[in-house]
Structure 1
Amino acid sequence: MPSPLAQPRKHRASGRVTLSDVARAAGVSPSTVSRALRGERAVDPALIERVTAVSDMLGYVPDPAARALASQRSDHVGILIPLLSNALFVDLLDAAQTSFRAAGYQTLMGVTHYSPSEEEQLLREQLLHRPAGLLVTGLDHNPATRQLMARSQVPCVHLMDLPASDGEALYSVGFRQTDASVAMTRHLLAKGRRRIAFAAAQLDPRVMQRLYGWRHALQEAGVFDPALEFLNPAPSSLALGGLMFEQIMQQRPAVDAIFFCNDDLAQGALLAALRMGISVPQQVAVAGFNDLTGSDQMLPTLTTVRTPRARIGQAAAEMLLSLMRGQEPEAPQLDLGFEIVQRQSS
């Protein structure tokens, strides 16, 4: 076997140590080195250890673009999410990454900041790396992004939302935002509340679906009042939730419940209620959405919609892995549902 101490012959153009250099030093084929460095289960663990040691000694850094070009596939998956500051997407991403890593794939993440044009640009950049698959948040994309997805022929699974029609040719994992909002509004109605406000920030497509659900449930009950819609396009936060609570209570003191589109807004509202001496739920009930960290520790504890974000990330990753293997999932759309969590605030 050639000595691993021999100096590698670097690539003339780049000066990089190549896969062939590692293979020559380890006394195996380049394909074996590739499989060993990916940690494939079919490769003997002792061989993986030997190849890894030689690779580290030579300072070899894999070139994903070259690997993708040679094999017509890559070992990474592109993921587009709106924000990293929202625990909802962090939980989803963590679960998806765990599934991909177990299958030998890396993730290339892009943050869209809820911008259709930024999403389009990120997708163009990710497609340059020939991803094996794509996870994309939501179903609301501009025409150019939809065209990019279709023309790339890269397997794609959509997160969080489900198509309006089961016959729509999209792969997706999530739940129906409108149904969840209807269920929470009906919960508040069942508690005897009739002047139910809806407070929302960010105003992305999923938030607007929750708005439609609130409207539908109140119209169905005959108590809908458009003056009780409080919509702010600013990013969702505890501070904004407190400000919106103060605004609602000053402008509409007869309101007996407030349904916030996200838990951080609702948490901020509960803190504002404490400062203002407003009793929750005796004077006004408060409800949120997503059951984020800390909602069960508020005073009073927050009633909310629990969404299965970690399960969505895992299930979407598993669906995409099936598609990348050329296998058709059992169903193109997977509805993981939601849960109304009643706590002290309602």
Structure 2
Amino acid sequence: MTVPIRPRATGRVTLSDVAHLAGVSPITVSRALRGERAVAPELVAKVQAAAHKLGYVPNPAARALASGQSSHVAVLIPMLSNALFVDVLETLQQTLRQAGYQALIGITHYDASEEESLLREQLLHRPAGLIVTGLERSDATRGLIAQSGVPCVHLMTAEAPEGAYCVGFSQRDAGHDLTQHLLDQGHRRIAFAAAQLDPRALQRLEGWRQALQAAGRYDATLEWLNPAPSSLSLGARMFEQIMGQQPPVDAIFFCNDDLAQGALLAALRLGISVPQRVAIAGFNDLTGSDQMLPPLTTVRTPRAEIGQAAGQMLVALMQGETVASPCVNLGYTLQLRDSA
């Protein structure tokens, strides 16, 4: 008579349940499911069939505790509502999965205390690696990263202190170069409009300032900074406010494309000619920017490339390999279209 398999009181199927059904030891089940070559193919097939029949799902936390190793990577990003980070995550996750790692994503909402809390929670699961966004964070969070001993790669920046690893580009240089393009087009009163006011937006602001200061055109009243979340509707409102400024502006550099897209829609509604009356430029080359009327001049940032390169760098670090360069600068491209 066949004795039915009865999972323990929690209702969760265990490694021992799979071993019992397959007629092998628990250690053989563990090795077979990890894909170790030392296990005979016929035993692997028996184990996989038993696991499938019972609906067994390995517990990565238990495996990490038992082996001292983990297959997951903690990834902390500011927002998922921003297409910028969605593009980065897609290629990052693909790269990690191909190497046998899983991304455990945490959203910080640009809040230093929330980032610290999320990191403490993630470290309890003994991640194999860490991905964080930028360099600006609390001293406590920096201490946690340093003391963890876990390899860490910083996204969206190409400048990091000695001993740190990063993949990105210079936000400051990109802001400078887009502003310089507007100056080269003959614009003289160039406003800078920013929302969210995260560290990367403020670095673009620094680049804008540097370009205008070098040209003798800097005016602090041209800075329009709003801490609210970036959106099309906010861009439209900011555009209307800026167009009422005296003396009038002849160009506006929006720190993100959604703001600039909202401004272009407002200009259409108000009958304001772009770029004849005012030039409009954005940042990040988000979806739809090339379809606006007129198409939006912006900065293309290498989001997919950043995710892939950061994943490759972290995999190398987790596997004890030496990376060619601790900081990878993937650059950016000015997408010059009809709006500026």
Q: TM-score, normalised by structure 2?
A: 0.94
Note the C-alpha offset of 1:22.
Answer: 1.5
Which residue of 125, 132, 136 corresponds with 1:129? Answer: 125
Distance 2:275 2:227 in 1: 27
Note the C-alpha offset of 1:37.
Answer: 3.6
Aligned to 1:105: 101
1:208 to 1:49, Cα distance in 2 relative to 1, 3 A: farther
1:138 to 1:322, Cα distance in 2 relative to 1, 3 A: same
1:270 to 1:42, Cα distance in 2 relative to 1, 3 A: farther
1:246 to 1:135, Cα distance in 2 relative to 1, 3 A: same
Which residue of 134, 148, 158 corresponds with 1:138? Answer: 134
How big is the alpha-carbon RMSD for the aligned residues of Structure 1 and Structure 2? 2.1
Distance 2:152 2:34 in 1: 23
Q: Which amino acid aligns with 1:143?
A: D
Q: Which amino acid aligns with 1:54?
A: A
1:40 to 1:209, Cα distance in 2 relative to 1, 3 A: farther
- Show the 5 A alignment for 1:264-275: 264-275=258-269
Aligned to 1:116: 112
Note the C-alpha offset of 1:111.
Answer: 0.3
Determine if contact 2:297/2:335 at 8 Å carries over to the other structure: yes
Q: Which amino acid aligns with 2:159?
A: P
Note the C-alpha offset of 1:36.
Answer: 4.4
Number of residue-to-residue matches in the alignment: 340
Distance 1:280 1:41 in 2: 64
Determine if contact 2:195/2:226 at 8 Å carries over to the other structure: yes
Distance 1:32 1:342 in 2: 60
Determine if contact 1:40/1:104 at 8 Å carries over to the other structure: no
Question: Where does the alignment leave 5 or more consecutive residues of structure 1 unmatched?
Answer: none
Note the C-alpha offset of 1:57.
Answer: 1.5
Aligned to 2:257: 263
Deviates more, 1:327-336 or 1:44-53: 44-53
Aligned to 2:61: 65
Q: Please give the per-residue CA displacement for 1:239-276, whole angstroms capped at 9, x wherever unaligned.
A: 00000000000124621110000000000000000001
Which residue of 165, 173, 177 corresponds with 2:167? Answer: 173
- Show the 5 A alignment for 1:152-231: 152-163=148-159, 168-231=162-225
Note the C-alpha offset of 1:49.
Answer: 5.5
Deviates more, 1:286-295 or 1:36-45: 36-45
Note the C-alpha offset of 1:42.
Answer: 8.7
Q: Which amino acid aligns with 1:287?
A: A
2:1 corresponds to 1:7? no
Distance 1:319 1:299 in 2: 40
Determine if contact 1:6/1:25 at 8 Å carries over to the other structure: no
Aligned to 1:84: 80
Identical pairs, percent: 68
1:38 to 1:268, Cα distance in 2 relative to 1, 3 A: farther
1:62 to 1:6, Cα distance in 2 relative to 1, 3 A: farther
Distance 1:43 1:300 in 2: 63
Q: Secondary structure at the match of 2:12?
A: coil
Which residue of 304, 308, 323 corresponds with 2:317? Answer: 323
Distance 2:271 2:96 in 1: 49
Deviates more, 1:14-23 or 1:99-108: 14-23
1:230 to 1:132, Cα distance in 2 relative to 1, 3 A: same
Determine if contact 1:83/1:112 at 8 Å carries over to the other structure: yes
1:176 to 1:54, Cα distance in 2 relative to 1, 3 A: same
Distance 1:64 1:217 in 2: 51
Distance 1:199 1:191 in 2: 19
1:19 to 1:252, Cα distance in 2 relative to 1, 3 A: farther
1:310 to 1:28, Cα distance in 2 relative to 1, 3 A: farther
Note the C-alpha offset of 1:25.
Answer: 2.4
Distance 1:319 1:84 in 2: 23
Q: TM-score, normalised by structure 1?
A: 0.93
Aligned to 1:34: 30
1:220 to 1:35, Cα distance in 2 relative to 1, 3 A: farther
Determine if contact 1:263/1:304 at 8 Å carries over to the other structure: yes
Note the C-alpha offset of 1:182.
Answer: 0.5
Distance 2:264 2:79 in 1: 24
Distance 2:19 2:176 in 1: 60
Note the C-alpha offset of 1:21.
Answer: 2.5
Q: Which amino acid aligns with 1:92?
A: V
Distance 2:245 2:199 in 1: 27
